[in-house]
Amino acid sequence: MTVTTRNSIIIVAISVIMALICTTTYRLWKYKETVKSLTVQEPKLTDIADGEYEGEYDLSLVCAKVKVTINKGRIENIAILKHDNGRGKKAEKIIEDVIGQQKLGVNAITGATASSKAILKAIENALQDAETSD
């Protein structure tokens, strides 16, 4: 193998590695921006008929699926049916805050913001579907 061929192979390999690093960095930045800008709308619980409603939300790296039980205009229970979370398992305690405060406008769990927001959006989606199905 000549020096020129070897140098060309090294340049191509470095170029590929740099492209992968740039792509990964951009995707991570875009994901963080998506999580940061994610908002949750507050449903009007008194407009939702008693029953169980399922909702889900997918942030690609984190997703959640929940079943929300409404009884007499109150959130009675929230069951997490699925939560792909990486290191965000601790976000699941956010359901206690939602039930306790009877609202979705609760603080995200520190260190598990993406998972917290995915769970809140899944709850919102379940309740929005309930509002529109009346």
**pLDDT reported for residue 19:** 94
**pLDDT reported for residue 67:** 97
Among positive and negative, which fits the CA dihedral 107, 134, 49, 70?
negative
SS3 state of residue 41: coil
**List of residues 6+ apart from 3 with CB closer than 8 A:** none
Domains and CATH numbers, the chain: 45-132 (3.90.1010.20)
pLDDT, tens digit, 9 for 90 and up, residues 47-74:
999 999 999 999 888 999 999 999 999 9
The model's pTM is 0.82
In the numeric block, the tokens 């979705």 are attached to 104
Q: Alpha-carbon distance 126 to 67, whole Å? A: 7
